Amino acid sequence: MELRAEDRLTLRTLAERYMEYANSDRNREKRELWRALNDGTMLKPMVAIDQMPWNELDVDGFLKCTVADPYFRGVEWHLRAEIYKWERLPVDMVLNPYILLPRPVGNTGYGLHAEHEALVRTDVTNSVVSQRYVNQFRDPEDVEKIKTPVISIDRAAEAEIVARAQDVFDGIAPVRMQGLILHLGFWDFIAQWMGVENCYIELMDRPEMMHAIMERLTAATLDEIAQIDRLGLYDVNSHMCHCSYTFSDSLPAADCDRDVPTARDGWAFGMAQLFTSVSPQITAEFEVPYMQRLFPHFGAIYYGCCDRLDDRLDVICKMPNIRKISCSPWSDREHFAANLPHKYIMSNKPNPALLAGPSFDEDAVRADLRRTIAAARAHDLRLEMLLKDISTVKYEPQRLWRWAEIAEEETQRF
């Protein structure tokens, strides 16, 4: 599809605004603060905000996309979202000094798709919807449903994307391709294929079947990694992994060929959120052995999400290449900080529920942040705080803006 003149103008105007911020002294300073954190010396606790209820945040129509071309409409959205965050709730965000272009990659997946029914209205613009999942693994033979992903890249389409983007953004911004980052949270997938309750039951009743599922997924993913490496499709340009900034002098390595980057040049993320409600021994048996085979193929790993990990950090630390470990609202942050080895970054998740109450309690937000900072400081840990999974701000985006201001104030006090 040929870009309309008005769409070209929209993209160039947004890019000019974006690049003004990306080339600013503030942006360079924030990037170096993240680099220091990731490379071993924290200058201040770092804060980022992601996974927001965008349907509640548009106060002036700025977030409304107008570009007709489907691909460049995605580029437009990225620019609008990043500009919005920079102007309204930046905290320690960083803008890459180029326009990211998603690569036209094909991935057939594991051969299964979640079968579910929504438990709430779906006629609203919100991706956060409760689901009830259908069990697709009723017999051990069903493990054969898991297939090896087939990865492909449309080189001709990619060349066309690059040429069009270079033309659109000529004189304003360079462009770079955004590759793949692997999600190794197999238990998230299994929960959607089986249903959460069924997973728990089968871990007790048919553990051999659950091991077979994990073995099948591990073997399939090792093949997937090999395909990605052969094609040179891994991501080294977004500098993000699971909502965390990954700027570092060590990754990608100095000898990385950025035209054909491999998994060893970048980050991946893993988690077993389902295991919040099982014992650490289950994590040790059903998660650790499989991730021990996968994690060495990557440059670094971000581990955890909403799962409770403070009661099993000794188990988590048996998996290689982890650099950041999630301290979710379900973890006791003081216990987490007391038991986290110093080589890891404490990646705290401030409680998004503080944004969802009948009213916004600034004192509660400040106290929550101070408690986390104090816990990390008491044990001389590097700390990042990632506010994410924000389901609602009660259609009051000012709550989120104010949260960002408070977080900036409290981390600067450090």
User: What are the residue boundaries of the structural domains of the chain, listed by start?
Assistant: 5-413
Tokens 């991730």 sit on residue: 291
Task: Encode pLDDT of 36-64 as tens digits.
Answer: 999 999 999 999 999 999 999 999 999 99
- What's the average model confidence in pLDDT over 399-408? 98
Average of per-residue pLDDT values in the chain: 96
Taking the C-alpha atoms of residue 392 and residue 390, their distance in angstroms, rounded to an integer, is: 6
Q: What is the pTM (predicted TM-score) of this model?
A: 0.95
- What's the average model confidence in pLDDT over 6-15? 98
CATH 3.20.20.210 fits 5-413, yes or no: yes
Tokens 């699971």 sit on residue: 242
Q: Which helix (H) or strand (E) holds 335?
A: helix 333-339
Going by pLDDT thresholds of 50, 70 and 90, the confidence category of residue 131 is confident
DSSP symbol at 183: B
What end-to-end distance do the CA atoms of the chain give, in Å?
A: 51
- What's the average model confidence in pLDDT over 391-413? 97
118 has a pLDDT exceeding 80: no
- What's the average model confidence in pLDDT over 306-331? 98
225 has a pLDDT exceeding 60: yes
Task: Encode pLDDT of 261-280 as tens digits.
Answer: 999 999 999 999 999 999 99
Taking the C-alpha atoms of residue 308 and residue 30, their distance in angstroms, rounded to an integer, is: 29
Taking the C-alpha atoms of residue 380 and residue 136, their distance in angstroms, rounded to an integer, is: 46
pLDDT of res. 117: 75
- The rounded percent of the chain whose pLDDT value lies above 70 is 97
Contacts with 300 (C-beta within 8 Å, 6 or more apart), sequence order: 241, 246, 248, 251, 266, 267, 268, 321, 322, 323
Which among 26, 127, 13, 156 is positioned nearest to 76, based on CA atoms?
Answer: 13
Tell how strand 105-107 and strand 151-153 pair up: antiparallel
Q: Which tokens sit at 370?
A: 């101070």
Going by pLDDT thresholds of 50, 70 and 90, the confidence category of residue 248 is very high
Going by pLDDT thresholds of 50, 70 and 90, the confidence category of residue 414 is confident
Taking the C-alpha atoms of residue 130 and residue 244, their distance in angstroms, rounded to an integer, is: 25
323 has a pLDDT exceeding 60: yes
pLDDT of res. 125: 54
Taking the C-alpha atoms of residue 294 and residue 271, their distance in angstroms, rounded to an integer, is: 13
